Amino acid sequence: MSYEVVGITVLWTFLFGYLIVASIDFGAGFFSYYSSITGTRHVIHAIINRYLSPVWEVTNVFLVFFFVGFIGFFPDTAYYYGTALLIPGSIAIVLLAVRGAYYAFNHYGSRSKKIYTLMYGASGLLIPAALSTVLTISEGGYIKVGEDGKVVFLARELFTSSYSWAVVLLALVSVLYISAMFLSFYAHKAGDFPAFQVVRKYALAWSLPTIISSLLVFFAIHSHNREHFNNMLDRSWMFALSFVFFLIAVYFVWKKTRLGLSFICVILQFAFAFYGYGSAHLPYILYPYLTIHDNFTSPSMAIALIVAFILGLLLLIPSLYLLMRLFLFNTSYVKGNTK
C-alpha cells in the first residue's frame, strides 16, 4: 500500500470514528430536548447524562484529529477547501462552540436552563448538516478554479442542488438512528426498562428513513457524478452487506434481545457504507481537481506522520480502553450505582 492510501485510510477511519461518537452525542442532545417537550425527559435524562458526561470532550478531538491530519497528509486541500468552506466551516465551528460550551455550562454549572437544552438539541442537528457540506463539495461542481488558480465557491449551486440536500437529509436521519440505537443498548444494559421503551421507539422510528435517505443519496450521485456512481456499483457487495447488517441490527432491537450485538451491527452497517462510498471516491479528494496522488505531502513528512500516528495510537488505545472500562462497560456505573 502506498503512503497516500495509508494516509487516507487512517483519516477516513478517524472521520468514521467521529461519525459514530458524534452521532450518539448529537442525537442524544436532540432526544434530550425532544423528551422534555413530550414529557418523558425524567425517564431518559439520567441515562443520557451518565453516558455523555465523561466523553463529551473526546468527541470533539476526533474531528480535530481528522482535519489536522488531512492538512498534514494533503496540504493542497487546505488551499481548495479552505476557500470554499469559509462559510459552512465557520457556521459549523460556531455551532460546535455553542454546543460544547453550553453543555459544560449546563452540566457543571449550578442550574440548568431550558434555553440551554434547546440550543443543545438544535445545534446537534445543524452541525451534521453543516459538516456534511464537505462531503458534498468533494463530489465536484460546487467549486470553480480560475486560470489564475483562484478558487471560487459556488454557494448558489450548493444550496439549490438536490444532491446536497439529499446528503443533509441522510446526515440528519442517520444521526438520530445511530444515537437511538446506541441509547437502546445503553439503557438495556443499565436495566432501565422505562428508558429503554422510549429510546427503542426512537430507534425503530428512525430505521426506515435511514435506509430511504441512503438510497436517495445513492441515486443523487448517479445524476451528479456518474464516475463515482459507477465506482460504487463496482463495490455493490459492500452496500449489500451494509443492508444486511442493518436488518440484523433492527431485528434485535425489535426482539429486545442482544442489544450489544445489535449496536455492533449498526457500526458495521455504517462502516461498509462509509468505506464503500469512500473507496469509490478515490483517487479523488476533490473531484476533479485533487487526487490523493498529485497533492500528497513529501515522503519524509508522510513517514513522520505515520510514525507519530502509530506511537499516538499506542497511547490512545489503552487510554480509550480505560475510559470505556470505567464508564461505558462498568455495569455499576451504567446502572448509576457508582458516581
Chain contacts with other proteins (rule: CB under 8 A) = 53-58, 60-61, 63-65, 67-69, 71-76, 78-83, 85-87, 89-94, 96-98, 100-105, 108-111, 150-151, 153, 297-298, 300-301, 304-305, 308-309, 312, 315-316, 319-320, 322-323, 326-327, 338-339
Least CB distance from residue 77 to other proteins, whole Å? Answer: 8
Report the Cα 301 to chain-centroid distance in Å: 28
Whichever of 14 and 31 has its CB closer to other proteins, that residue is 14
* Beta carbons within 10 angstroms of residue 210's beta carbon: 22
Whichever of 112 and 162 has its CB closer to other proteins, that residue is 112
Q: How far apart are CA 90 and CA 153, in angstroms?
A: 14
Whichever of 17 and 27 has its CB closer to other proteins, that residue is 17
Which cell numbers in the block locate residue 123? Answer: 445545534
Least CB distance from residue 173 to other proteins, whole Å? Answer: 25
Least CB distance from residue 319 to other proteins, whole Å? Answer: 5
Least CB distance from residue 122 to other proteins, whole Å? Answer: 15
Report the Cα 109 to chain-centroid distance in Å: 28
Is-contact 217 172, C-beta < 8 A?
no
Least CB distance from residue 99 to other proteins, whole Å? Answer: 8
> Using the 8-state DSSP alphabet, how is residue 151 labeled?
E
Q: How far apart are CA 89 and CA 226, in angstroms?
A: 27
Selection from 284, 266, 135, 255 nearest residue 211 by Cα: 266
Is-contact 184 253, C-beta < 8 A?
yes
Whichever of 85 and 183 has its CB closer to other proteins, that residue is 85
Whichever of 74 and 163 has its CB closer to other proteins, that residue is 74
